[in-house]
Amino acid sequence: MTFVLVALGAGVAVSVELLEALAIVLAVGVSRRWADALIGAAAATVVCAALAGLVGPVLLHSVPLDALRVTIGVLLLLYGLEWLRKGTLRLAGRRSRSSSLAEYLETQEQLDDLPPPAPGQPDWAARLVAFKGVLLEGVEVVLIVSALASRPSGPGPALLGAGLATAAVLGAGVWLRRPLARIPETELKWGVGVLLSTFGVFFTAEGLGVDWPAGDLALLYIAFVLAATSQVQAHWLAREPARA
């Protein structure tokens, strides 16, 4: 069961991050030139791959097992609770919903203000926008997948989930050449927040010497309690009028 939950957590986290990166690259490609968009994205991918090559082995080889569990747990809690906080506020209507399409349109608008690229000359502005977009989302992907893959039981499920998600998002991007407007990103991100926070609590406690009642099944009741707390607070905030 842990295998499935880790693969699911990594897969959904990677797919929502890549959707945002893809929206930016598509906007650059459509508004400027595809070659410059792809060069910027490729450069950022190389930087992210180098970071992944550094972070994973450092976590695995230089930190003792219990300290590793606490480190991974705290890292996952940092990401998970941030996503869960934003997700709860979005579900309560206290924050705008997450949308790759909005990001796509915003990037297109930014690029429209720039002068068009000269023929035969590299379009550095477009490359930089694509690079920055992919790098920022990619670093989050690297940190989340590295944390999930550094579990003592092995990197298999995290890498499988991340690989499937990457293939799915890139395939959709190449096929549609537009961001996927109908994906419920707010709910997906909220779900990722619940999963990452669940793993964060589970691993941190294990690192501190806790034997969870019911073993790995604890993941289910931790997820339930986190999700229920967030939903109750979202409903309560949604009913309470926002004070100006």
Contact residues toward another protein (CB under 8 A) are 70, 74, 77-79, 81-82, 84-86, 88-89, 92, 94-95, 136, 139-140, 143, 197, 200-202, 204-205, 208-213, 218, 222, 225-226, 229-230, 233, 237, 242-244
Least distance CB 197 / another protein (angstroms): 7
Output 29 or 73, the one with its CB closest to another protein. 73
- Cα 7 → chain centroid: 14
CA distances from 128 to 9, 101, 109, 149 (A): 30, 20, 15, 30
**151/220 Cα distance (integer angstroms):** 18
Backbone region of residue 214 per phi and psi (left: phi > 0; alpha: psi in -120 to 50; beta: other values): left
Judged by beta carbon, residue 23 or residue 201, the one nearer another protein is: 201
Chain position carrying tokens 């790098």: 135
The residues, any chain, with a CB within 8 Å of residue 19's CB and separated by 6 or more, are 100, 169, 179, 180, 183, 185
- CB of residue 144 to another protein, shortest distance in Å: 12
Task: Return the number of the residue (29 or 200) whose C-beta is nearest another protein.
Answer: 200
- How many C-beta atoms lie closer than 10 Å to residue 152's C-beta? 12
Minimum gap (Å) between residue 71 Cβ and another protein: 11
Minimum CB–partner distance for residue 139 and another protein (Å) = 6
Nearer to another protein, 43 or 160 (CB): 43
